[in-house]
Structure formats: structure tokens, C-alpha cells
């Protein structure tokens, strides 16, 4: 059995750190004494987060890297750089993620690949680059953020669900492989967390304006939990080496439903999610 993860004096690499869960995690990891290396594509927001943490914790090292994880070459390059410059890394949090709305026949393959590149390929590339470092630091840990859509797959979310199911499978296999090296792996399935993912989400080229507006409103209704609450649960899961974390009722209820109705759960979910219709005349 692994010992609890030790935050103090460790170095944590966090992707998607300029807002949402990533920002909240960076703040809470710093409060526990972790040095930080923060990645995001939004340079201004990222530097704001890093600046606030440096002010609050002047003894900590807080580095930043601006990178677009949709670019495979850029992701591979930053992975190599991080491994070379931070051999002391003990925690990797693959948190960055994007969304794409639209049925499979309403999105282009380029749009689909954009989601897969950020949500899954970047997780694989960064983990692969940093794995020798993590294995060298026995007691290290990896966190991969999946989604409730890595538990069940709603209509209109083929790309996003595919990427998050992939993260889930990758994480489970990686956990089994790294156990003998003393490296823990936690896969996180957040439900409705109030992050900027709805703002940054793309819509498939074939989606009408009406469909887009309706989908945006429905999605926004689910985003209720503050990211700070989600981050606190993730930090606890890291410390306790939990293999899997479901955050919120909107993740826990679907998890049970899928287990009970693996082939037919969507009928129930779709019926409950459908907007109310006026009674027949």
C-alpha cells in the first residue's frame, strides 16, 4: 500500500492552470507547500494566477509556460523541456480540456481531432515525456481529469465523450503499470463544475444557431459547483492515493445509472432532459 502523497517541497506540473479547476488546484497545492509549473494557452490569465501565488507564497518556485496543447509538436517539445528542467517533479496534473457541441454528422474531422488532441493526445504525450522523472521520484503521482462524459456518453457529445473515455481507459491501465514503481494514478470525473469550459467550447460547423443556443443554456444549467470545491476533493484524492474520484451528484448518479442500465440509460436521461412540451389541444 502506498504512503500518503507528500505535497511539501514537491513540484507539481498543472495544465489548464489559468482558470477553473486548474487555477484552484494551483492555489491549493501552493498552500500545501508544492512548487509549481503551470501551463496554459492564455498567457495573460496564466501570469495573473502565477503572480498571485508568488505574492502569497514567496518561498515557492512558480514557473509558467504558454503552450497550445492542440499542437502535437508544441506539446511534445514542452514535455521534453519539462522533463529536462524539472527532474524533481513529483506530481503531474493533466487538467486542460475543451468541449465541442454537435452530433457526429454536424462536426468536421478537423474539429473532432482538435478535441482529441487537447483532451487525450496531450495527456498521453506529457505523461510519456515525464514518466521517467515520475518513476525516479518514488511516491510521485499522476492525475488525469476525465469527465462525467467519460462515464456515460450523451447524444451530441461524440468527440468530447470519446476523448474522456480514452482518458479513463489510459489512466486505469497506467495505474496498474505504475503500482510497482510506487507511483499513484487518480482519474477524476467531475460533474457540473463552474469553469470557463462552456465559454471556450466550440460548436460543430453543422450546428444551427437555434441548436447552439439551446445546447449552451442546457450546459450552463449543469455548471453549479465552485471549482475550489472540486479542487479540494482532488487534493484529498491525491493525498489518499484514490484511484478514482467522482465529483458531485451529477457524476455519481450517472455512474450508478450506467451500472444498472448499461445499454438503455440514455432513454431515461434523454426523457428527463427533454424540455417540457405544452399539452395537446
Are 158 and 200 in contact by the 8 Å Cβ rule? The answer is: no
| pLDDT tens digit sequence for 261-276 | 988 888 887 776 554 3
- The pLDDT value recorded for residue 277 is 34
129: Cβ contacts below 8 Å, ≥ 6 apart: 76, 79, 80, 82, 83
Host domain of residue 239? 11-273
| pLDDT tens digit sequence for 73-116 | 999 999 999 999 999 999 999 999 998 888 999 999 999 999 99
Rounded to two decimals, the pTM is 0.90
Catalytic residue among 5, 160, 212, 265: 160
Are 163 and 116 in contact by the 8 Å Cβ rule? The answer is: yes
pLDDT at 218 over 80: no
- The pLDDT value recorded for residue 83 is 98
Residue 241 lies in a domain: yes
Pick the range with the lowest mean pLDDT from 73-87, 91-105, 125-139, 199-213: 199-213
160 catalytic? Reply is yes
In the predicted model, what is the mean pLDDT of residues 150-178?
Answer: 95
pLDDT at 212 over 80: no
Look at the chain and report how many structural domains it folds into.
1
Residue 156 lies in a domain: yes
Residue 33 lies in a domain: yes
Residue 222 lies in a domain: yes
Query: Which is nearest to 159 in space by CA: 192, 196, 206?
Result: 206
Amino acid at each position: 500500500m502506498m504512503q500518503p502523497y507528500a505535497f511539501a517541497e514537491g513540484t507539481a506540473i498543472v495544465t489548464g492552470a489559468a482558470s477553473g479547476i486548474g487555477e484552484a488546484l494551483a492555489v491549493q497545492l501552493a498552500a500545501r507547500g508544492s512548487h509549481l509549473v503551470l501551463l496554459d494557452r492564455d498567457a495573460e490569465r496564466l501570469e495573473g494566477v502565477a503572480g498571485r501565488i508568488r505574492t502569497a507564497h514567496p518561498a515557492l518556485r512558480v514557473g509558467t509556460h504558454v503552450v497550445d496543447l492542440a499542437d502535437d509538436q508544441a506539446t511534445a517539445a514542452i514535455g521534453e523541456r519539462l522533463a529536462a528542467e524539472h527532474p524533481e517533479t513529483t506530481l503531474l496534473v493533466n487538467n486542460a480540456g475543451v468541449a465541442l457541441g454537435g452530433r457526429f454528422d454536424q462536426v468536421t474531422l478537423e474539429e473532432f481531432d482538435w478535441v482529441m488532441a487537447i483532451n487525450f493526445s496531450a495527456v498521453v504525450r506529457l505523461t510519456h515525456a515525464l514518466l521517467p522523472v515520475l518513476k525516479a521520484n518514488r511516491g510521485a503521482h499522476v492525475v488525469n481529469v476525465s469527465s462525467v462524459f467519460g462515464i456515460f456518453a450523451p447524444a451530441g457529445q461524440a468527440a468530447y465523450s470519446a476523448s474522456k473515455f480514452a482518458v479513463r481507459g489510459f489512466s486505469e491501465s497506467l495505474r496498474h503499470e505504475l503500482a510497482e514503481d510506487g507511483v499513484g494514478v487518480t482519474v477524476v470525473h467531475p460533474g457540473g463544475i463552474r469553469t470557463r469550459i462552456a465559454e471556450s467550447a466550440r460548436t460543430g460547423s453543422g450546428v444551427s444557431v437555434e441548436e447552439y443556443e439551446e445546447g449552451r443554456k442546457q450546459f450552463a444549467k449543469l455548471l453549479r459547483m465552485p471549482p475550489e470545491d472540486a479542487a479540494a476533493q482532488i487534493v484529498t484524492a491525491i493525498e489518499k492515493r484514490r484511484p478514482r474520484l467522482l465529483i458531485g451528484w451529477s457524476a455519481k448518479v450517472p455512474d450508478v445509472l450506467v451500472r444498472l442500465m448499461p445499454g438503455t440509460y440514455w432513454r431515461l436521461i434523454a426523457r428527463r432532459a427533454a424540455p417540457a412540451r405544452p399539452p395537446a389541444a
